[in-house]
Amino acid sequence: MLSPIYPNEARGNRRIGAVTSVRRIPIDSVSIGDERDLYTLPSVTETMRLHEYQAKELFADAGIPVPDSQRATSSDEVLTAVEDIGYPAAIKAQVHVGGRGKAGGIKIAGDKQEAKAYAEEILGMEIKGYTVNSVLVEASVDFENELYIGITMDRSSGKPVAMVSTEGGVDIESVAAETPDAIAREHIDPVFGLHPYQARRAVYDAGVPSDVASDVAHILSTLYTQYESADASEIEINPVMITTDRDVVAADAVMNIDEDALFRQPELASMEDTAAGDDLEIKADEYGFDYVRLDGDVGIIGNGAGLVMTTLDLVDYYGGSPANFLDIGGGAKAERVANALDMVFTDDNVDAIVFNIFGGITRGDEVATGINEALEKFDTIPKDVVVRLAGTNAEEGMEILNTDRVEVEATLEDAVEQAVINAQEVHQ
Amino acid sequence: MSIFVDDETRVVVQGITGGEGKFHTSEMITYGTNVVAGAVPGRGGDEINGVPVYNTVDAAVRTEDANAAVVFVPPRFASDAIFEALDADLELVVAITEGIPTQDMTKVHQRLSEVDTRLIGPNCPGIITPGQTKLGILPGNIFEPGSVGLVSRSGTLTYQVVSNLTDRDIGQTTAIGIGGDPIVGTSFIDTLDAFESDPHTEAVVMCGEIGGEDEEQAAAFITEQMDTPVAGFIAGRTAPPGKRMGHAGAIVSGSGTGTAESKINALTDADVPVGNTPDEVAEYIESFL
């Protein structure tokens, strides 16, 4: 079988534990225009995503075989690369967003003309709001089988788990859902690491052809070493291709790093593509907010993940639609509060804002001062703000708060309901 | 009565000389917590808020007879601090620190299976038995002694629900934030089990959120093992798949696990009413009492 493209790539970059839709696609029918809309997430809290080309460089350095490839940032570079690599070659957009295949971000060039055309088309294109700044030019591989191997954290056991399946090239979550027995799993003792016998057992249990079993087991062991030494949260090769020459090659690479561990991973930290987000997400990153952009029109600011999520849910419950998740964290001072409000004011999708604080270590007086500061910059308040202050120093906060310029509600429920009404009034 | 902590609990604060550690030690003492020692390497012999500081947890425990520790140590040193506390034969360790690398926590988790010490957290607000003691950063003034147990993965959501309870004159036996990280020391089930055994806890509030399967497992436990009535709340109904909602653990995966819907269904099947709003939860609890 000749692979014109790595099948899962046509469906975009994905990772375990985070896929919006699962639909099994026969490998033969895979095309670039695949309908799958896989999630991936830009600048997610707590996880730093590496681009495919970066992960592949790390894999190659560790001794995992990868296809010939070169990263290119201009169509000239693409042409130089493709001359080295040969035709047909895949030109793959390097963006932190799912569904890049579907969006036209992956093409197969059969000759120079195509390579030039596709390079010009893909470089600079926007995929879901993210500009493609570079592509990976990669050799096609003639393959007979596709495997999945990956390592992730199993929350219920508190241990990393290694997974191997011969159902590679498709989304592992759909395999897990439809034929769970097709995935061999080995829980890993974090103190001892993945024992070689465990790697072998996983590979044999999964039914990997015996002539390549030891090669695959070796890749799995190397992958765990990478997982551990890089403080990865997920690491995945899907597919591992068994070529017609019975070689084993990593045709894809997903590697996400635990953001909490970046302090001891300076080299990986420097690989972060900080431009890979939309403006508000980049800004939120600078301010150190936990921020997620959503589709609605009610802006939400609060303290503490659980309470902010609850505020989002209540907006929905009262018939509105949340525009974002913004957690200012614990113990925020006035400046941080003002930054949060500034940020949400600049979001064009937001028609009304609810600011909900239940102070534990966050103090109501700091919050009120911050809100006043943010509002002072405007003659007319750009969007209605409803404030609810409770907990530590809430009374002091209420004395400070400029209540001529914001609405105040005593309970969470009332504050949310009012913000939803305010947003609806903007529409009318 | 209470679970895990009471006015007999003797606390050593790890990281007592840091900003957070110092401030919350003073808050804990004001609340009535027996803070008997601090532990900070190189600061042995100092005194913070009248509390003697030791270089090691071991020395603090031996000298002051502590049986619990609260960890306010920065993330990069926090797992070492937890290991040190686990090595000192304490009954309870409460880790407040947010942002501990996950792979550090997998090693801590492994160690927990070898010792008798209970770990609460990390990335949690701590535990409070109103009127007796608090270990952590929860604002004491919103709690009232009473007969309702509360367990939550989130700090501020705990405060919200407690204020809804207190507004209805419903007090608490013990309230626990178990933490928002993927790997934590104490689960919902551990806590529900303890509440079930506590004769003074007449009803329990369980506040979950998206991510993982702890709530589903807790629902099965409630069906099989509990007579005490439970009311629930699940945060994150509107969270789209793949987006982490602040907490590292709060993420809906693609295979349908971790969704609010799955948790709400599991709880409903276990005859646990789930509130649409925090106040509805308080209303359910009121109906139980």
Residue-wise pLDDT tens digits, B25-70: 999 999 999 999 999 999 999 999 999 999 999 999 999 999 999 9
**Of B13 and A167, more confident:** B13
Please check if B159 is assigned to a binding site. Answer: yes
CB neighbourhood size of B160 (10 A): 32
- Percent of chain B beyond pLDDT 70? 98
Which amino acid makes up residue B176? I
Alpha-carbon Rg for chain A in angstroms? 25
Higher-pLDDT residue of B13 and A153 is B13
Rounded average pLDDT over B223-234:
98
B242–A412 CB contact, under 8 Å:
no
Strand partners of residue B242: none
For residues A123 and A16, membership in a common domain is answered with: yes
Q: Are strands B203-209 and B230-235 parallel, antiparallel or unpaired?
A: parallel
Given this model, what pLDDT does residue B240 score? 82
Could you tell me which chain B residue has the CA closest to the CA of A177? B255
User: CB distance from B103 to chain A under 8 Å?
Assistant: yes
Q: Give pLDDT, residue A275.
A: 66
B98 is in an annotated binding site: yes
DSSP A359-383: ESSS-HHHHHHHHHHHHHT-SS-SS
Nearest beta carbon to residue A358 from set B105, B159, B237: B159
B10-120 and B139-288, same CATH topology: yes
pLDDT at A339: 95
Report the CATH number at residue A101.
3.30.470.20
Rounded CA-CA distance B56/B40 in Å is: 7
Last residue of a domain, one of A269, A299, A328: A269
Q: Kindly state whether residues A66 and A197 are assigned to the same domain.
A: yes
Sequence-ordered list of residues with C-beta below 8 angstroms from that of A249, at least 6 positions apart, any chain: A65, A66, A67, A141, A143, A240, A241, A243
**Polymer length in residues for chain A:** 428
Q: Is residue A2 part of a domain?
A: no
Please check whether residues A151 and A293 belong to one and the same domain.
no
Q: Are residues A256 and A300 in the same domain?
A: no
pLDDT of residue A279: 79
- Tally of CB atoms within 10 A around A117: 14
Does position B138 have pLDDT exceeding 60, yes or no?
yes
Evaluate the omega torsion of the peptide bond into residue B122 and state whether it is cis, within 30 degrees of 0: yes
**CATH among 3.40.50.261, 1.10.10.10, 1.10.3720.10, 3.40.630.10 for B139-288:** 3.40.50.261
| Nearest-5° Cα angle at A238, A36 to A123 | 60
Q: What percent of chain B has pLDDT over 90?
A: 90
Specify whether A6 is catalytic: no
Alpha-carbon span A424 to A274, nearest angstrom: 35
What per-residue confidence (pLDDT) applies to A361? Answer: 82
d(CA B109, CA A153): 13
Q: Which of A118, A148, A224, A227 is catalytic?
A: A148
- Domain of A417, CATH number, reads 3.40.50.261
Asked if A169 and A287 sit in the same domain, the reply is no
Instruction: Give the per-residue pLDDT at A21.
Output: 28
Q: CA B31, B233, B258: angle at the middle one, nearest 5? A: 115
Choosing from A248, A269, A290, the residue where a domain stops is A269
Chain A residue numbers touching B256 (CB-CB < 8 A)? 177
Show me where the domains of chain B are located. Answer: 10-120, 139-288
Q: Domain end: A269, A288, A313, which one?
A: A269
DSSP β-bridge partners for residue B11: B35, B68
CA distance A412 to A414: 6
What CATH number was assigned to the domain covering residues B10-120?
3.40.50.720
Answer for the pair A326, A301: CB distance below 8 angstroms, yes or no. Answer: yes
Compare CB distances from A44 to B105, B139, B244 and report the shortest one's residue.
B244
Number of independent structural domains in chain A: 2
Residues A26 and A60 in one domain: yes
Q: Which residues from chain B sit within 8 angstroms of residue A156, using beta carbons?
A: 212-213, 217
For residue A277, what are its two tokens? Answer: 């987000």
- What pLDDT is stored for residue B249 in this prediction? 73
Position A17, amino acid: G
User: B256 vs A177, A240, B211, B252, B261, CA distance in Å?
Assistant: 9, 26, 10, 7, 9
Q: Which residue in A399, A293, A415 sits closest to A352, CA to CA?
A: A415
Q: If you write DSSP's letter for every residue of A160-186 in order, what string do you get?
A: EEEEEES-TTS-HHHHHHH-GGGEEEE
Contacts of A274 (CB under 8 A, 6+ apart): A282, A285
The structure tokens listed for B173 are 């036996």
| C-beta separation of A357 from A388 below 8 A | yes
Contacts of A323 in chain B (CB under 8 A): none
Query: Could you tell me if A70 and A188 lie in one domain?
Result: yes
Q: Is residue A274 part of a domain?
A: no
Section B119-135 average pLDDT:
97
Whether residues A307 and A263 share a domain: the answer is no
Shortest CB distance from B209 goes to which of A22, A45, A309? A309
A54 and A82 belong to one structural domain: yes
A243 and A309, same structural domain? no
Q: Is residue A1 part of a domain?
A: no
Considering the domain architecture, whether residues A362 and A256 belong to the same structural domain is answered as: no
For residue A303, the enclosing domain spans 279-427
Nearest C-alpha of chain A: how many angstroms from B207?
9
Q: Does residue B241 surpass a pLDDT of 90?
A: no
Contact A94/A51 with Cβ under 8 angstroms? yes
pTM of the model: 0.89
Question: Terminal CA-to-CA distance of chain A, rounded, Å?
Answer: 59
Asked if the C-beta of A308 comes within 8 angstroms of chain B's C-beta atoms, the answer is: yes
Nearest CA to CA, how far is B248 from chain A (Å)?
Answer: 6
**Which residues of chain A are under the pLDDT cut of 70?**
1-46, 98-99, 275-277
